[in-house]
Structures are given as C-alpha cells and as structure tokens.
Amino acid sequence: MRSFEAGKVVVSLCKDYVCSHDMNDEDCVFYGMRRDGLEVIFPAARSGSHVGDVMLLNLACKKDETLASAVEQLRAHPNVIHAEPNILYGRHVRPNDPYYSNLWGLEKVNMPAAWDYTTGSDDVVVGVTDSGVDFSHPDIRENMRDSGWNFLNNNAQAMDMTGHGTHVAGTIGAVGNNFVGITGLNWRVKIANMRIGNIAMGLAAAIAAIEFANANGIEILNNSWGGRYYSPSLEHAIQHYNGLFVASAGNDGVDNDTLPDYPASFDCENIISVAATGPDDTLADFSNYGAVSTDIAAPGVDIFSLSLKGEYSSMSGTSMAAPHVAGAAALLKAYRPGLSALEIKRIILASADRLPGLSGKVLTGGRLNVKAMLEMAKSRQVHTIAPGENLWAIAKQFGVSLEDLIGANPQLAGGWTVLAGQVVDIP
C-alpha cells in the first residue's frame, strides 16, 4: 500500500490569488508543470480564512521524483499556503466476525492497520504440524487446503481429537469477515492439516511431515510442540526444509539458552522460536525464553480461537503465540510473494516492537508487530547472497555505497566475509 497517490498534489492557494491555470504563464503557480488535470476540490467561498481555493493537481509524469520536485516548487511559491502529496490514509479495517472483540492478541500485534496492506491469499499455504485440524469447522473449512494427512499412522484419518491443532489453525487462518465466529491473522489462506500426534507428537511423523512440506511446496510450517530431547534426525530435517519453521519456545518458564527445548532451540537459520506474552506486554510466567535461542514474543495468554465441533475456546501457551508469527509470515508472503524464508524471518524480527519487559529475554527484545512488518516490507529491499557474491558486487548492483551497505547490516561489522544464503538489507 502506497502512502500517497502517484502524480497527485493537493495545493492550497492564497485567498486573493487568482490562478490562470496556464502552465505556460510564468505568473501561474503551476508554471512549467505538465499535467493531466487541475481541479478545485474546495473553493475559497467555503472558507472564511486566509486560504483560497484548494486544488488537486494531477501531474502527467507519475514518477516519485517528479512529484517531490513539484511539491518543493509549489511550497516555495508566495501564492501557495500548503502543497502536499495526495496522502492515502489506511482504513484500519476490522472484520465483521462477531467474536472479534475477544481477540486481544490481534489488536496487540496491530492487525487492523496490517489488513490495509493485505488480508491474505489463497496462494499461500501454511502447514500445521499438530494434533490435526477440525477441517469441518464452519469458521475454517473454506481455508483448508484439503482434509489433511495423518503422518503418525500414515493414513487419511487427520481429524483433530484434542482441539489443540484446531485452536492453532484458527489463529493463523480462521475465515475473516464472514459474519461467523472469529478471524485469523489471514482472512484468506490455505491450511495444510498435518497430523503428527494426539496429546504427544511423534518424532518420525514430524520428520515425514517436513519432507511432505518440501515435496509439496509448503513454505511455512507452524510447530506448537516440543521437548527436551535432542534429535539429530529432526534437526537434519529442519536444516533441509525449504521454508520457514515457526516453533513454540515451551511452557516451563525456564531459559532455553541453558536448558534447550527442541525443535525451537535447534541452531537452524530457518527457525523462528516464539515466546508468549500477555495483554500487558510482559513475558507470560509460563513461557520459556532465551536471549540467544528465542527470537521473538507474541500473544499467548487467554487466546480465543477455534475448538472442536464448531465451538470456540480460550487457551494459553507458547503454542498459541507461535501461530501469531506463522500467520504473520503468511501475510507477508501474500504481500511480497517473492520473499524467501530467510528474508521473511529477517523482516519479522527486525520490525518487532522493542519492549522493556522483553529485553534480555528474547533475541529481538520485542513482540510481533504485523503492521510494522508489512510497512517495512513495502519500503525495504533485502537481498539473499548468491554463491561467490561479495559485498562490493552487491553495493554496485543496488547503487549504494559499501559504507552504507555495511552500516545497514550490523551483523557484517568487523569482517568482509559473507556466506551464500545470508540475507542483507539494502539501504
């Protein structure tokens, strides 16, 4: 979403100035400005102040630099009081789902403003590796990719029997603005139901689900489960997953830097590990944390979402926090389809709201902010380093100085070595 309309300027003239509207008239405030149109949008007669006609100038050239030059020229003219781009204000839309007021977490991560950018896309698929999803629930069935697969028993019996996976899926993608129940972060998305357990999740099933995601181009996985057992096989599968792996940090209230919880604590660059916060933006007392191993926090206390048999319920846990981040990743993918998993991760972490209560608790020191994420994606260029590429070549490609490139990427400070697959910001 642009913040202004291309090629259009709102101009307020002085009260006693009479405009000739002739761009070839040197005395005209619009002298030399090639235009497609010029109209009075608020006449002087309606104002008792010193402001004359308010006009809308539609420039022939729609380039941003032409607009900026015109605004600068107009502001310098003695017969112009104000000149500004034709600003595009957001709608701050709220969906019509009747239980929306219960979704404090969506308000906290700034979803009404985020939905001005996108409400999601049917082209984006999020895999939910969990206890299954109630794919018949009236508030999510339109957003289901299909009925799913049971990787634990290797059959099609993927219906959720506990409600955990259904609750998670609802936060990501309950159908929005349909006059039914709630909405997820994504009004439109496709949920891939990947059942890997019931109360407990199976290691082999999880690995099989990751391979299925690779084979079927599912680029985002939500994983609201884990434990203290380190599995090299699971780590290997995640390292070779071609997507973003969002994992809950765990609910023991301990530091994962000293007592790891897997898969969230694996040292895999495509993992986002998520802690839980409450409405007061402090770490939930049950939430695991870690200044190194836990990346970001998201709402995870008394989260209202889908339940079995068409019902709704509230649950707490980092299991509820992770789908806020997975849902945000899906929205970002809908908004900028060309972004890689690592680019999505970098933008999500870089746009977090830094909060005093999270300093030293998670890597970013912040909580998810979806509006800020999309705003950053709109104006920010990121680049994934190709094999053999160096900083000089990247700076030349994007027309920036080497000094500015390094300044925008503090992770590069102190060295010139870059690795293929590493993501850098372009200033």
For residue range 321-349, list pLDDT tens digits in order.
Answer: 999 999 999 999 999 998 999 999 999 99
pLDDT at 16: 82
Checking if the pLDDT of 219 tops 90, the result is yes
Q: Which residues contact 268 (CB under 8 A, 6 or more apart)?
A: 235, 238, 239, 245
What is the reported pLDDT for 3? 67
DSSP code for 209: H
Question: Which of the two residues, 53 and 208, has the higher pLDDT score?
Answer: 208
Q: What pLDDT, on a 0 to 100 scale, did the predictor assign at position 188? A: 98
Do 347 and 363 lie in a common domain? Answer: yes
- Based on the domain organization, do 219 and 195 belong to the same domain? yes
Average the pLDDT over each of 164-178, 228-242, 297-311, 370-384 and give the range with the smallest value. Answer: 370-384
| 134 Cβ contact list (under 8 Å, min separation 6) | 140, 159, 160, 163, 166, 306, 308, 309
| pLDDT tens track for 27-38 | 788 988 999 999
Closest CA to 342 of 196, 249, 235, 219: 219
Q: pLDDT-derived band of residue 417, with 50, 70 and 90 as boundaries?
A: low
How does pLDDT run across 66-76, given as a tens digit for each residue?
Answer: 999 999 999 99
CATH number for position 271? 3.40.50.200
Domain membership of residue 305 (yes or no) is: yes
pLDDT at residue 398 greater than cutoff 50: yes
**387 in the same domain as 373:** no
Q: How far apart are CA 299 and CA 322, in angstroms?
A: 9
Q: Quick one: 392 and 259 in the same domain?
A: no
pLDDT of residue 1: 46
DSSP 3-state percent helix, strand, coil across the chain (nearest 5): 30, 25, 45
Whether 80 and 107 map to the same domain: the answer is no
Q: What is the mean pLDDT of the chain?
A: 91
pLDDT average, residue stretch 284-313: 98
Listed range (151-160, 179-188, 297-306, 392-401) with the worst mean pLDDT? 392-401
Q: What crossing angle do the helices spanning 370-379 and 341-350 adopt, rounded to 10°?
A: 120
The count of structural domains within the chain is 3
Span 349-374, mean pLDDT?
A: 96
The C-alpha atoms of residue 347 and residue 349 are separated, in whole angstroms, by 5
Which among 44, 59, 87 is the end of a domain? 87
Interval 65-116: pLDDT, tens: 899 999 999 999 999 999 999 987 765 678 999 999 999 999 999 999 999 9
**Looking at the structure, do residues 169 and 36 belong to the same domain, yes or no?**
no
Shared-domain flag, residues 221 and 326: yes
Determine, yes or no, domain membership for 92.
no
| Residue 370 to residue 41: CA distance in whole angstroms | 35
Residues 6+ apart with CB under 8 A from 420: 385, 386, 387, 388, 389
* Neighbour tally for 134: CB within 10 Å: 27
Asked if the model's pLDDT at residue 291 lies above 70, the reply is: yes
What does the DSSP assignment read for 267-287? --TTEEEEEEE-TTSSB-TT-
Reported pTM: 0.77
Percent of residues, the chain, with pLDDT higher than 90? 75
Yes or no: say if 135 and 141 are a contact pair by the CB < 8 Å rule.
yes
Residue 380 confidence (pLDDT):
63
Region 50-57: what's the mean pLDDT? 89
**Does any domain span residue 93?**
no
Query: Are residues 343 and 260 part of one domain?
Result: yes
Residues 276 and 338 in one domain: yes
Tokens in use for 312? 């709704």
| CA–CA–CA angle 235, 238, 240 (5° rounding) | 110
Please say whether the beta carbons of 209 and 245 come within 8 A.
no
What is the model's pLDDT at position 47?
58
Query: Is residue 415's pLDDT more than 60?
Result: no
In this structure, the answer to whether residues 362 and 421 fall within a common structural domain is no
Question: DSSP label at 206?
Answer: H
Domain that includes residue 399, residue range: 382-426
Which positions are catalytic?
A: 130, 164, 319
